[in-house]
Structure 1
Amino acid sequence: MLEFKDQSGRRVTLKFEHTSDMDHILAICVMDGKYLFTDHKVRGIEFPGGKIEPGESAEEAVHREVFEETGASIGNMQFVGVYTVHDETRPFVKGVYLAEVEDMFFKCEYMETYGPVLYPSVEGIPEERRSFLLKDPCIDYLYRKIRNDDQST
C-alpha cells in the first residue's frame, strides 16, 4: 500500500488489489498512442470518471462514464488499483482502470463536460487548463506508472 496527501491535506491510500467497496471510478484511456481526457466544464481537463451507479459494476461504470464524458467506447480494460481518500465527512473509494479506446462517436451532449480531448501526455496540457485531479499526487503516480509500463513493453 502506498500513501499520499492530496491538495487538501487528506490522507490518500493506493492499493493494487480489487475491492468491492468502490463508489467511484477513474479511467486512464489510451487512443492511437495518446491519452484521452475530458474537458470538464468547471474543473478543466482531466481523465474521465465518476460515481458508480446503484446496481452497476465498476467495469460497467467505466464504460458508461467514458462514453458519457467523451463519446468513446472502450475495448480492452484492466484494473490498476484502488485509490481511497480518507475524508472524515465524505470518504470515497475510487477504482482506477487502464482502458483502450475502441471507437469514438460524436455526441451533441457530453453531460458535465465539453467532450473529449487527446494529448500525448499530461505534460502537454497547458498548466492553467489542468484539473486539480491531474495535479493530485496519487493520480499523477498512477499515470506515470501506466506510462512507464507502456513504454517498457
Structure 2
Amino acid sequence: MKEFTDFEGRKVTFIKEHVENTKHVLAIPMFNHQYLFTRHKIRGIEFPGGKVESGETLEEAVQRELFEETGAAAESLKFVGTYTVHAKKPFNKAVYYIEVKDLFFKCEYLETHGPELFDDAEAIHEEDRSVLLDDECIHYLYEMSREDEFFGGG
C-alpha cells in the first residue's frame, strides 16, 4: 500500500487490487502514443473519470465516462488498482489504463469541453491544469503509466 496526502490535506491510500463498494473510476488513457485528457469546465485539464451508475460494472463505468468526457472508445483496459480518499465520508476510485482505438467528435461532452491530447502531463500549461493533476496519488499513477508495459514503457 502507498500513502499520499491530497490537495485538501486528506490521507489517500492506493493498493493494486479491487476494493468493495468502489463507486468512482479514473481513466489514464492513451491515443496514438499521446495521453488523452479532458478539459473540465471548472477545474481545467485532467484525466477523465466519474461516478459508477446503478447497475454498471467498473469497466462499463470507466468506458462510459471516457466516452462522455472525451468522445473516445476504448480498445483495451488494464485495471491498475484502487485509491481511497479518507475523507469524512471515505470513497474509493478504481483506476484503469486505457488504450483508445477511436476518438469521435461530439457536440456535447457533459461537464467537460472535450478531449485534449498531450505527449505528457508536463506539457500542460500551469493555468490550464486541474488541481487533480497535481494530486500526489494521481501523479504517482501517471508516472507509473509511463513505465508500464501496457503503454509500451518499462
Is the structural similarity TM-score above 0.5? yes
Unaligned segments of structure 1, at least 5 residues: none
TM superposition shift of 1:102: 0.8
Q: What amino acid is aligned across from residue 80 of structure 1 in structure 2?
A: V
* 1:35 and 2:38 are equivalent in the alignment: no
Identity %: 57
Map 1:82-121 to 2 at 5 A. 82-88=82-88, 90-121=89-120
CA-based RMSD of the aligned residues comes to 1.0
1:128 matched to 2:121: no
Partner of 1:72: 72
- Measured against aligned partners, the alpha-carbon deviations of 1:92-120 in whole angstroms (never above 9, x if no partner) come to 10000000101111100000000000000
Gaps of 5+ in 2: none
Q: Which residue is equivalent to 1:141?
A: 140
Deviates further, 9-18 or 141-150? 141-150
Q: How many residues in Structure 1 have an aligned counterpart in Structure 2?
A: 152
Letter of the 1:129 partner, please give it.
Answer: D
Q: Is the 8 A contact 2:14 2:81 kept in 1?
A: yes
Corresponding residue of 2:2:
2
TM-score (norm 1): 0.96
SS of alignment partner, residue 9 of structure 1 = coil
In the alignment, the residues of structure 2 paired with residue 142 and residue 152 of structure 1 have an alpha-carbon distance, to the nearest angstrom, of: 14
Distance of 2:141 and 2:132 partners within structure 1 = 12
SS at match of 1:68: helix
Query: Segments of 4+ in structure 1 off by > 2 A?
Result: 149-153
- In the alignment, what sits opposite 1:49? 49
